[in-house]
Amino acid sequence: MTRNTMRRSSGLFPVWMAALGLAALATVAAAAPPPLGGTPRKNIPMTAAGHPAEGKIEPFLGEPNLDMQQVFKGGRFPNTLVAVDGTVLALWGGVKVRRSEDGGRTWGPEITVGQGFQGGGAIVDETTGDILAFVEKHHPPAPLTVYRSKDHGKTWKAEKTVIHKDANGNVPSMHMNEAGITLRHGKHAGRLIRAARHYAGRNHRSKWPEHYTTAIYSDDGGKTWNTSKPFAEMGTGEAAVAGLSDGRLYYNSRSHWNKNKPPLRRRCAWSADGGETWTDWRIVETLPDGPQNTNYGCMGGLVRLPVSGRDILLYSNCDSPGGRNHGTVWASFDGGKTWPLKRLVHEGGFAYSSLTAGRPATKSEGWIYLHFESGGSKVARFNLGWLLKGEKTGDGELPKWIFQ
């Protein structure tokens, strides 16, 4: 069964869309107006809710806005994502979720996904609307259970999943990566992908030089997964992936073992084959990898805003000379080549973090969500208009189209 056939048979699409034919299920062929500063696109990817997967930039602009709420008490390990209907999900710990159906203004009660250890990398399958969560039995390496929700995170059911070994013969571990994505562009559109890692037997300093990061990807809705070739640098882990408008992927990783000693910066690479291989590895000099007085990094958040024709990436981490604090968000407007802007979100305690963005035509539209460790967990909700009031980093220039 093809991914498009799965989408039509799921019953999530209205009858009029089924009549458009199999090829039209992935896109709406009608011409759409260009986004602010963008270029016209004839084919706009759609989600299982019947909404455009990407839209204009205007909803993310407007009056600067930031608010923040405590969401969980105690524990660790955040993920966050937005379901196709606009419900915001904050996943936490081992493993719980809270849902917001009003764009992040209020949050519902805690829901148990499964008993275990947060695997990170939760994914919204935009083709079907299902959400996948990864739960390991204990701190990895550990047995893995994948849970699926068909009702935007209200209920979860374990399912059998096959994850194939990487090129080195290792089955990857999941903990603790940024949320995964559905690819929207290019010949691999519809593919699910999330970052993964190899733990080299155990999480001990003596093993850190043997760690490396990968990605797992699925073309059958998450039933079976292949593993990418390893990332170029050893000692890496806890990574994030974003899909770009030209079909390429941007990969950003923590350096779990920094042989170059402080200051510690992130690593990145790109993929032109749907996440099967990673090329053009480099150190991202502008982006700190957690506090700068250690030789190991900190999990960071990454998201591409759903703006048609533009590759606006946001990254979150500590911006601190010492200690996990001063949570900050950086912005790139060219798919991760440069990072010319940053703004402090939370001056106090700030450790692991996860970023997601609201969806067009839903109550979440125009919002950016940052779920982070801070005496339990907090969710900061802000817009791009707020972020644009931040400070310049000196790494490139803000594009003129952002202010038009």
Backbone angles phi, psi at 278, to 5 degrees: -125, 130
Do the Cβ atoms of 324 and 298 come closer than 8 Å? yes
Backbone angles phi, psi at 309, to 5 degrees: 80, 0
Q: Where are the beta strands (DSSP E) in 150-300?
A: 157-159, 162-163, 181-182, 192-198, 212-218, 224-227, 236-243, 249-255, 265-271, 279-288
Question: Cα–Cα–Cα angle for 15, 183, 368, nearest 5°?
Answer: 95
Backbone angles phi, psi at 58, to 5 degrees: -55, -40
Tens-digit pLDDT profile for residues 75-85: 999 999 999 99
CATH class of 3-11+40-403: mainly beta
Q: Say what the pTM is.
A: 0.90
pLDDT at res. 211: 87
In whole angstroms, what is the distance from residue 157 CA to residue 101 CA? 21
Question: How far, CA to CA in Å, does 244 sit from each of 50, 241, 314, 383, 403?
Answer: 21, 10, 13, 20, 22
The 8-class DSSP code of residue 24 comes to: G
As given in the structure block, the two tokens for residue 183 are 């690819």
For residue 312, pLDDT over 90 is answered with yes
pLDDT at res. 231: 87
Question: Cα–Cα–Cα angle for 286, 287, 289, nearest 5°?
Answer: 140
| Structural domain boundaries in the chain | 3-11+40-403
Q: What is the 3-state secondary structure (H, E, C) of 247-281?
A: CCEEEEEEECCCCCCCCCEEEEEEECCCCCCCEEE
In whole angstroms, what is the distance from residue 89 CA to residue 93 CA? 13
Q: What confidence tier does 320 reach under pLDDT thresholds 50, 70, 90?
A: very high
Instruction: Single out the residue of 182, 178, 54, 184 nearest to residue 129, CA to CA.
Output: 182
Tens-digit pLDDT profile for residues 7-64: 333 333 333 333 333 233 333 323 333 333 333 344 679 999 999 999 999 999 999 9
pLDDT at res. 27: 36
For residue 4, pLDDT over 60 is answered with no
As given in the structure block, the two tokens for residue 271 are 């993929």
pLDDT at res. 76: 97
In whole angstroms, what is the distance from residue 315 CA to residue 4 CA? 32
For residue 113, pLDDT over 70 is answered with yes
Mean of the per-residue pLDDT values of the chain: 89
Asked which of 4-18, 61-75, 80-94, 225-239 is least confident by mean pLDDT, the reply is: 4-18
